[in-house]
Structure 1
Amino acid sequence: MKTIETILEHIISKPEFKQLQKHRCYRNFTKILTPRIRKGIEFIYLRNDTLFIAISHPAHKFHIDSNIDSLKSILKQFVKYQNQCSWMEVTQIKTF
Structure 2
Amino acid sequence: MVISEAALHQETGGAETMRDQLGHLLAFEGNSRINIQVLPFSAGAHAGLQGAFNLYRFERDPDIVYTEGYGSGHPTANPDTVRDCSLRYDHLRAAVIV
Report the TM-score, using the length of structure 1 for normalisation.
0.35
Q: Greater share of helix residues, 1 or 2?
A: 1
Report the TM-score, using the length of structure 2 for normalisation.
0.35
